[in-house]
Chains A and B, each alone.
Chain A
Amino acid sequence: MTGTQTAAVAETAAPAAAETTEDGYNFAYLDEQTKRMIRRCILKAVAVPGYQVPFGGREMPLPYGWGTGGMQVTASIIGANDTLKVIDQGADDTTNAVNIRRFFARTADVETTETTGEASIIQTRHRVPEDPMTEDQILVLQVPQPEPLRSLEPREIECRKMHAYKEYGLMQVSLYEDIARFGEIATSYSYPVMVNDRYLMSPTPIPKFDNPKLDSYPALQLYGAGREKRIYAIPPYTKVKSLDFDDHPFQVQQWEENCALCGAEDTFLDEVILDDRGGKMYVCSDSHYCARRRAEGHSGKLSGSAAAAYAAAVGADQPEKGA
């Protein structure tokens, strides 16, 4: 990582600490000692890419599983001059994203944005933005289960030994099981990766479509698991390799259709059910990316008015249902 970025991680937030935006709360909710502790863990995580650093996770004012780990990381690195974008499954406008964005707007009084390029910190759940990120940005990922070996080896001591001694044959067994059962590697999210040729890492439940982006990514990636109290990181331009077999190489998902709204051919698509008669469409999961493309004049087969879109989707022979 670049020198300026390391310094930024270590120092941010300190000067702004005195100001409080919401009465009775410290800047960015957590107290300064907690944020220092988390920043030290982040520095260690950056120094050992892919290694899970334990940290003293705090209670956050929302349940585990809703992004407490990511929020603690964001709270520790955010400064008054930062601009925050929050993504939930690629979208800026879902409950989780809206609430976490509002949380930091209220407790840290930071600028928020939906534009990938304008944000200095992007906290995300289950997606990497379609737009490229730069060295000046930080991607914070919310992690439900940091231990990639957990479903295979329930003993924590054994898992740690396997990491320490780089014994990762067992992870390969899970891919073997996929091929034996489905004829291909059917794992489509939380697809295990090797970071810097050393540590096996779970890239959180991002779709494996996003795995190739993690390799040599220009932005710093920080992973925070709130319930499990672990932080890990991938520094910029680090080698990240998805596991595979020689005769079953790693492949990302593909779709037969393009985005129905913006026509994009190279994005991760969500399937949207339109009715109970099999009508469906595929749209970009990255809502900002899709909106920007539409604003630039790109269009898919269902763009235009809702009624026209509905008619096109269900076919002309179907009765109108007042779309």
Chain B
Amino acid sequence: MNAMSPLLRVHNLSHAFGSLLACSDVSFELHSGEVLGVVGESGSGKTTLLNCLSARLVPTNGIVEYDLRDRGLTDIYSLSEPERRFLLRTDWGVVMQNPRDGLRMSISAGGNVGERLMAVGARHYGEIRGTAEEWLEKVEMDLGRIDDAPKHFSGGMQQRLQIARNLVTKPRLVFMDEPTGGLDVSVQARLLDLLRGLVRELKLSAIIVTHDLAVARLLADRLMVMKDGKVVETGLTDQVLDDPHHPYTQLLVSSVLQV
């Protein structure tokens, strides 16, 4: 891999639902180890963009290229569906806003974490369980609950389990859609702390969609501000938040409640 070549390159990406343009003309590059935050109000096209980037929604227009381990930068929508699905469960991770979408709620925590390993061919129970325990420890979960189903977990625990489940195959790129949505602030803080540690430790690249500027400030290296499907401002996180140029960004920053 060329040190200068990006991990993900997006060119003129647009997606329309009928006559509704959900995101239009998005272009950016993401390099290895970089965390990109996508902020904007509800309905601004953040989640649509994320779905297009993570090979789960074929965009109407534009190209998404990913640096595959074996053949370099490749248009992900030129891959066959099984190849894309394989990518999604090995080199990528997707952390959903609602853990119910990202977890199997009636399968034990250990089984949830082990599923990806078994999907890529692990067939040794002891090793799978060992790896699952290791990851549950990394996301600060009580090992005594490894055999409990996530439907009996609190929201914060479900979210941490979802993170463990995604990171177990050591992905290089993780997509997160509102990873702290619906959690109370103290649990949010712990989760953010954990995420920040993991991202640094594993040198993960990540694209984080959020409407919470505090989350963006803590996790993201760069920010992309979206409004009505368009990217209105991009730049380093501190730069965008401390010196917003676009009127919408200024509104967004000034809307944050000060305690």
* Min distance, Cβ B2 to any Cβ of chain A, angstroms: 31
Q: How far is the CB of B170 from chain A (nearest CB, A)?
A: 17
Interface string of A92-133 (1 = CB under 8 A from B): 000000000000000000000000000000000000000000
B147 surroundings in chain A (CB, below 8 A):
180-181
Does A179 have its Cβ within 8 Å of any Cβ on chain B? yes
Given contacts A245-B124, A247-B125, contact A169 B118 (CB under 8 A): yes
Check A180 against B129 for contact (C-beta < 8 Å): yes
- B interface residues, how many (CB within 8 angstroms): 23
Contacts of A152 in B (CB 8 A): 104, 107
Name the residue in B116, B119, B146 with the highest tally of chain A Cβ atoms < 10 Å from its Cβ.
B119
Are A246 and B118 CB-contacts (below 8 A) given A173-B111, A176-B128, A177-B107? no
B123 is contacted by which of A165, A170, A180, A245 (Cβ under 8 Å)? A245
Chain A residues, Cβ within 8 Å of B110: 176, 180
Which size bracket describes the interface of A in this complex? 10 to 19
Tell whether, in the assembled complex, residue A165 and residue B85 are in contact, meaning their CB atoms are under 8 Å apart. Answer: yes
Number of contacts between A and B (CB, 8 Å)? 58
Q: A248 CA to B124 CA in the complex, in Å? A: 8
| A167 B85 Cβ-Cβ under 8 A | yes
Partner of B107 from the list A165, A173, A247 (CB cut-off 8 Å) is: A173
A181-B147, A247-B125 known; A165 and B81 CB under 8 Å? yes
Q: Does A172 interact with chain B (Cβ within 8 Å)?
A: yes
* Contact indicator per residue, chain A 160-179, by CB within 8 Å of chain B (1) or not (0): 01001101011011001101
Taking a contact as CB atoms under 8 Å apart, the answer to whether B114 and A173 are in contact is yes
Q: Give the complex CA separation of A132 and B119 in angstroms.
A: 36
Q: How far is the CB of B116 from chain A (nearest CB, A)?
A: 8
Q: In the complex, what residues of B have CB within 8 A of residue A177's CB?
A: 107-108, 111
Task: Give the shortest distance, in Å, between A306 (CB) and chain B (any CB).
Answer: 47
B227–chain A nearest beta-carbon distance, Å: 34
- 1/0 per residue, CB under 8 A from A, across B89-130: the answer is 000000000000000100110110011101111011110110
What would 10 more interface pairs be, CB under 8 Å, given A245-B125, A248-B125? A167-B82, A170-B115, A170-B119, A173-B104, A173-B118, A176-B129, A180-B108, A180-B129, A181-B147, A244-B123
27 inter-chain pairs at a CB distance below 8 angstroms, sorted by A residue, are A152-B107, A164-B82, A165-B81, A165-B82, A165-B85, A167-B82, A167-B85, A167-B119, A169-B116, A169-B119, A170-B115, A170-B118, A172-B123, A173-B104, A173-B107, A173-B114, A176-B111, A176-B118, A177-B107, A181-B108, A244-B123, A245-B123, A245-B125, A246-B123, A247-B124, A247-B125, A248-B125
